[in-house]
Amino acid sequence: MENNRGQWGSSMGFILAAAGSAVGVGNLWRFPYLMGSNGGFWFLIIYLAFVILLGIPVLLGEFSIGRFTQLSPVAAYKKIQKGSGFVGVLAIIAPFVIMTYYGVVGGWALKFMGSFVTTGAGLDWSAFTGGDLTLGVWQPLVWTFIFLAIAWFCCIFGVKGIEKANKVMMPALFVLLIIVIIRSVTLPGASEGFMFMFANVDGFTLGAVPAALGQVFFSMSLAMGAMITYGSYLSKTENLPKSAVRVASLDVLVALLAGVAIFPAVFAMGAEPGAGVGLTFFTLPGVFEAMPAGAVFGAIFFLLIFFAALTSAISLIEACSAFAIDSLKLSRKAAVSILCVIFAVLSIPNSMSFAAGTPFSGEVFLGMELFSSVDEIVNNFILPLGGLFMCIVVGWFWKPQNAIGEIESTPGYTFKAQKAWSMCIKVVTPVLIAIVFVTSVLKLFGVVSF
């Protein structure tokens, strides 16, 4: 079974696919709004520190587990350490749960793009998700299903199809992003957006720390089985540390570029930068409508969100289907198809949670509706826990030497940063995750407040 699971056709294909997984709605939608509501510049600094101290070490750990075992996450963890299969199970639960709302966002992007193309304007997001448009609450769901069908098509052909899709969409995404940036930064008043991103030092709150931690995990697709699965399709010739640094850099770059595309335009048009979750879909359509040639740029922007969402969704689906193929012995077609149908069904409650009067409306967790509750719980609890266990398993049971052995199995390669990496994976990363995690749990139960 392991031998016919496929391999990446080229190093570039792998980097683009892993970057495609990392670069997603998290960069274009989550990062800017988190930065906007967590004090701008300081959030950025904490975020960058976490990428270096946590993100890159964990990503490298996941690539090496994947390549060493050539297995999907649950089987992979079992192979490196008996009894640690539950970490793999966490790494499957996370992408599974995320796929119950990721497709909803992908569907919004499709609909908004279509709206800019056909009417020259975006939509009223509240009316759209709230069920006030013609098709009622079914309208956003139809678009979610279309998005999932496209993702299904990209996944049924296996690793080769995934590579092809990423090789087209990732370069396109960069080009589209640059076009939007040029428009945004040339608007009168755009410089205020830069000030907000890079010179806003007053808005810091301690809440930015756990938010940045969750965002690093989400944005770099960590602790979700995706990077282990993608790593399992690698050949020994791939230099893993170099790949990890490249993927992380591309991910940070796109998050920053998304900020540069969004904030100058938001300020230039006098909109509100701290609008939270609604920034992309609520604030930005108005921003595009108000600018010269806004219809074109609005359509381009939502097309780019669609590409970003699709390449990430592909990796989330792939993590779950690789598990179903390896562990449940399903064929690829059956695994991908069954999963996509399940995701479609489970998207219904998340999508409907924005509309009033549905069985899924109302507050679920900390005053948030179902959709945001799921997002919050996965990112702030399941992912950090998964990352923590991963560090413990690799650092203290499988042992860094074994991972280093895998990393150095690339012909002619010596891993120079091996001491620093071992230190990170054994101590620095898990301690940091544990501190931030415990603090956010205490905050949740009202023991501390900040």
What are the residues binding ligand PFF (CB under 6 A)? 21-22, 24-27, 95, 98, 218-219, 221, 224, 226, 312, 315-316, 319
DSSP, residue by residue, 8-53 = -S-HHHHHHHHHHHHSSHIIIIIHHHHHHHTTTHHHHHHHHHHIII
Q: 200 or 350: whose CB is closer to ligand PFF? A: 350
The Cα–Cα gap between 170 and 311 comes to 8
**Least Å from the CB of residue 120 to ligand PFF:** 28
The Cα–Cα gap between 43 and 315 comes to 27
R_g over Cα of the chain: 21
Contacts for 308 with CB less than 8 Å, ≥ 6 apart:
23, 24, 25, 27, 28, 173, 254
Looking at residue 2, what DSSP letter applies?
A: G
Q: 230 or 267: whose CB is closer to ligand PFF? A: 230
**Least Å from the CB of residue 427 to ligand PFF:** 25
**Least Å from the CB of residue 361 to ligand PFF:** 26
**Least Å from the CB of residue 329 to ligand PFF:** 23
The pair of structure tokens assigned to 223 is 């602790």
Q: 26 or 400: whose CB is closer to ligand PFF? A: 26
**Least Å from the CB of residue 186 to ligand PFF:** 27
Q: Can you list the alpha helix ranges (DSSP code H) found in 220-292? A: 226-231, 240-268, 284-290
The pair of structure tokens assigned to 334 is 């059956």
Q: 25 or 392: whose CB is closer to ligand PFF? A: 25
**130: number of CA atoms within 13 Å, CB side?**
8
Q: 141 or 151: whose CB is closer to ligand PFF? A: 151
Between the alpha carbon of residue 432 and those of residues 46, 190, 292, the distances in Å are 12, 37, 46
Looking at residue 448, what DSSP letter applies?
A: S
Helix (H, G, I), strand (E, B) or coil at 321: helix
Tokens 């995690």 belong to which residue?
437
Q: 72 or 312: whose CB is closer to ligand PFF? A: 312
**Least Å from the CB of residue 408 to ligand PFF:** 27
Q: 319 or 403: whose CB is closer to ligand PFF? A: 319
Query: Bridge-partner residues for 363, per DSSP?
Result: 369
**Least Å from the CB of residue 218 to ligand PFF:** 6
Q: Can you list the alpha helix ranges (DSSP code H) found in 120-207? A: 125-129, 138-155, 159-185, 191-198
Q: 27 or 166: whose CB is closer to ligand PFF? A: 27
**Least Å from the CB of residue 99 to ligand PFF:** 9
Amino acid letter for position 383: L
